[in-house]
Each structure stands twice: as structure tokens, then as C-alpha cells.
Amino acid sequence: MALIEWKKEFEVGIADVDHEHQELIKLINDLHDAISGENATISVMDFLGEIYSHVSAHFALEEKIMRDHKYDQYTDHKADHERLLDELRDIMDDYEESAYFSNEEFSAHIERWFTEHFKTRDARLHKHLG
């Protein structure tokens, strides 16, 4: 079962970007499947670490594009990226301290962030870039 389902509201209206975002959600779902059930092949920390790594790399690329194009909303957009990475790191730290991880809380957090970030910041950025 998917942790996060792709929703129309995640779309920014640019096929390549929407595809990349769909791939990120697919990765999250694939990793979630790998930690679920009796035959788990990765740990929760590996799951969170992989997500953190991929999201961080995606953000670094996006931020480079914004800098290269002297994007007027770079500072705010980057701050939103940093906020998500801080929140992911907090989830990882909480898990290390208490071994507590909730699929439902994680899914709600990520889905809320995708909905807000994709529809606002990413949509504006990619419309600006054309």
C-alpha cells in the first residue's frame, strides 16, 4: 500500500517537474514498502536517510537553477526547503531517541508539505522559468 498517493493538486503544470515530483513520491512509497511488514529489507533510519538524501539533492539542483536564473523568490523558496529538511532531520532525531515512527504522522506531514510547496513555491518558480 502506498504511503502517499499522487494527487492532481500536487501538479505544478509543467510535465517534467510533475514527473520528477511523481518520481520522488514513488521513491518514498518504494522505501516505505521496504520497511513494512515482516520481511523488511531496510530499517526506519535507512528509509528516512534515503528520503533525506534524495530530497536534499533535488533541492540543491532546484536552488542552483534559481541562482543561475537570479530568481526573485530564491531566499523564501530556499528557506522553505531548509524548513522541510529540518523537519525531516527532527523526525530522524526523534526516532533515534525513542525508536518511535508513525507512518500516519509521516505521511500526513509529507503530504501537507507537498501540497503546499508544490502548489505555491514550485508552481511559481517553474512558471517564472517558463
Query: Which value, to the nearest 10 degrees, does the dihedral of the CA atoms of residues 15, 17, 19, 24 take?
Result: -170
CA separation for the pair 58, 42 (Å, rounded)? 22
pLDDT in tens, 117-129: 888 898 888 788 7
pLDDT in tens, 29-57: 888 888 887 778 888 888 899 999 999 98
What residues contact residue 126 under an 8 Å CB cut-off, 6+ apart? 12, 13, 14, 17
108: left (phi over 0), alpha (psi -120 to 50) or beta: alpha
Taking Cα atoms as reference points, which of 118, 108, 101 lies closest to residue 10? 118
Q: Which amino acid is at 107?
A: S
- Top-ranked range on mean pLDDT: pick from 13-17, 64-68, 114-118: 64-68
Which residue ranges make up each domain of the chain?
12-129
Q: Which CATH homologous superfamily contains domain 12-129? A: Hemerythrin-like (1.20.120.50)
Q: State pTM to two decimals.
A: 0.82
Grid cell for residue 44 = 526506519
Distances (CA, A) of 65 to 58, 78, 89: 11, 12, 24
Taking Cα atoms as reference points, which of 78, 115, 124 lies closest to residue 4? 115
